[in-house]
Amino acid sequence: MQVPRPLQSTQISGASRLALAVRPALHPAPRLTATALCSTRLTKETGELPHGSCTGRPSYAPPQRTSMVRSASNDPSTRRIQIIVLLGGDGLGFDVLRSRLKPRPSVRTLHEDLAWIERQFPDRFRREPARGEHGSSRVVLRWSGRPPVLLEQPLTWLTEEEVVAIIAARGLLRQLDPSLPPTTAPTAEPDPLSQAADALLARVGIKEVADALARDAIVVSRFGAERVSSEVLATCLGATVRGDGLHFAYINMAGRQHAVEAMALRMVLVKGEWFLLAWSEGLKIYRMARMSGVQRGRLPATCPGWIPRQDIDAKLRDAFYATGSERAQDRKRVAVAVGPEAWPLVGGRRWGDRQMVEERPADLPDGWRRLQFTTTGLAECRHWILSHGGQMRVEAPAELAAWVQAQAQAIVAAGR
């Protein structure tokens, strides 16, 4: 049984390093090897470990399942993961649970395992009255959520930089209420990702120390950004990590809603807003604030068995903000003249592929520069150009120049 000891007193070593030590348990923590770590793909029916689940396959490759079973007789970590997976969904009675574990543990061992799970995860493990479908069992054991990852080695210390990094992650991942000032610090963490960072600090016993050290040392302004609900964020995160399917309703920029079935591939944070890169009849990018009714489900029937990483990279590599394409016909070479007032907001940044800057073009006024780059996100690029007003002139492509000219004329006409 694992009995945690209290946190040791904080020790300061040197001017720039804070040693935060956590005493190890009286007995070694149950170990989870690399294979057991991937056991979140255990089957509900048998609690079996799938063969080849830890071969380094990216999360967007569909999971493989076989009947291979790993022995858990001398590995309490693997056995407890099996128990947790089997208790998902409708749950099981004690006797049925014991019969499905391979090899079958003793009654005493199973009671000890359940007591450990209940003590460690009181908010996820449940004992509920049985219903008719559970046969003679009076109590049903149930697990809510995904299986945890048990550490292979006890966490005994953190450097100051590691603590600050966790604090920074907590601040960076907050999705604040858009009705509040953009840098308002919440009294409680509002979203699953910031909650997870906060819970990690609490679990190792240093939350108060961390909060006193630098609770709000790093905050992020969400000025002008749409907020994603915590439920959507959590569901997309879980599906992306596991390469699962997502079913949701999506409202496009034109205000039209349609149903989407997709395979989650990546979550991307752009200008303070979350986007989901997914496969749905092709690679697509969805603004998560416009997703509703999000549920994890089966992968689309037409989903390919393998999506090369380079194809996913290509979707965003030459995108403009979150607007991009992997199609060759969408690649456009943009050339703009940038005035001296706009250049501080433009220079020193990457705007696209094969970017070139001409410092003193002979055909432009003094202080102007010529910027050229290739992008697949022309639709969003044009709004960026328009935002600089007369300090940015479009030279290519012709379609972009025509659009900006039409918008300028419309603005002038509206002001008359």
Residue 334: the pLDDT is 97
Residues 251 and 185 in one domain: no
How many H-runs (helices) and E-runs (strands) does the chain carry? 11, 14
256 and 166 belong to one structural domain: no
Which letter, b or e, does each residue of 196-210 get, where b requires 16 or more Cβ atoms within 10 Å of its Cβ?
bbbebbeebbbeeeb
* Residues across the chain: 416
Q: How distant is the alpha carbon of residue 83 from its chain centre?
A: 27
Average pLDDT taken over every residue of the chain: 78
Task: Output the domain CATH number for residue 406.
Answer: 3.30.70
Residue 183: what pLDDT?
A: 59
Q: What's the domain range around 251?
A: 230-306
What is the DSSP pairing of strand 283-287 with strand 273-279? antiparallel
Q: What is the pLDDT of residue 11?
A: 36
Banded model confidence at residue 328, pLDDT cuts 50, 70, 90: confident
Pairing of strands 245-251, 257-270: antiparallel
Q: Is the pLDDT of residue 142 over 70?
A: yes
Q: Classify residue 6 by its DSSP letter.
A: P
8: pLDDT confidence band, cut at 50, 70 and 90? very low
How open is the CA angle 400-401-402, to the nearest 5 degrees?
90
CA nearest neighbour of 387 among 408, 366, 406, 364 = 408
pLDDT value at residue 213: 67
Compare 211 and 83 and report the one with higher pLDDT. 83
- Separation of alpha carbons 413 and 416, rounded Å: 5
Residue 18 vs residue 71, higher pLDDT: 71
- Clarify whether residues 287 and 348 are in a common domain: no
Residue 60 reports pLDDT greater than 70: no
CB 244 within 8 A of CB 146: no
Six-digit token string for 80: 């407890």
Same domain membership, residue 99 and residue 37: yes
Q: Residue for token digits 């099996």?
A: 82
Between the alpha carbon of residue 29 and those of residues 21, 116, 311, 415, the distances in Å are 16, 12, 41, 71
pTM score above 0.75: no
- Highest-confidence range of 8-22, 84-98, 151-165, 346-360, by mean pLDDT? 346-360
Residues 255, 199 within the same domain: no
Write the pLDDT tens digit of every residue in 250-307: 998 888 999 999 999 999 988 888 999 999 988 899 999 999 999 988 898 888 878 8
Let me know if residue 224 belongs to a domain: no
- Compare 28 and 317 and report the one with higher pLDDT: 317
Q: How far is CA 414 from CA 33, 124, 385, 410, in A?
A: 67, 59, 20, 6
What CATH number is given to the structural domain containing 261?
2.30.30
223 within a domain of the structure (yes/no)? no
Is-contact 143 87, C-beta < 8 A? yes
Q: What is the pLDDT of residue 400?
A: 96
- Is residue 149 situated within a structural domain? no
Q: Does residue 300 sit in the same domain as residue 364?
A: no
The model's pLDDT over 79-133, given as tens digits with 9 standing for 90+, comes to: 998 999 999 878 899 999 999 998 899 999 999 999 999 998 888 899 988 876 6
Assess if residue 283 is contained within a domain.
yes
Q: How many CB atoms lie within 10 A of CB 145?
A: 12
Looking at the domain assignment, is residue 316 inside a domain?
no
Using a pLDDT cut of 90, give the percent of the chain over it. Answer: 37
Which residues pair with residue 353 across a beta bridge? 374
Query: Do the beta carbons of residue 142 and residue 84 sit within 8 Å?
Result: no
Same domain flag for 114 and 186: no
Whether residue 206 sits in one domain with residue 235:
no
What mean pLDDT do residues 216-224 have?
72
**Is residue 248 predicted with pLDDT exceeding 90?**
yes
Domain identity same for 139 and 164: no
**Of the ranges 20-24, 268-272, 357-361, which is most confident?**
357-361
Highest average pLDDT, of 163-172, 209-218, 281-290, comes from 281-290
Distance, in Å, from the CA atom of 302 to the CA atom of 391, rounded to the nearest integer, reads: 47
Amino acid of residue 133: E
DSSP of 23-84: PPPSSPPPP--HHHHGGGG--TTT-PPPTTTTS---TTSPP---S-----TT-HHHHHHHHH
Number of domains the chain is built from: 4
Amino acid identity, position 74: N
| Domain shared by 35 and 139, yes or no | yes
Higher per-residue confidence, 99 vs 7: 99
Which amino acid is present at 123?
D
How far apart, in whole angstroms, are the C-alpha atoms of residue 64 and residue 77?
Answer: 22
Q: Is residue 76 part of a domain?
A: yes
Cis-peptide, bond into residue 147, ω within 30° of zero: no
The reply to whether 260 and 197 lie within a common domain is no
Q: Alpha helices of 87-204 — where are they, by DSSP H?
A: 94-100, 107-120, 160-172, 192-203
Residue 371 lies in a domain: yes
Whether residues 251 and 197 fall in one domain: no
The pLDDT assigned to 214 comes to 62
pLDDT score of 254: 84
Within-domain flag for 5: no
Single out the residue in 94, 117, 143 at which a domain terminates.
Answer: 143
Does 190 score more than 50 pLDDT? yes
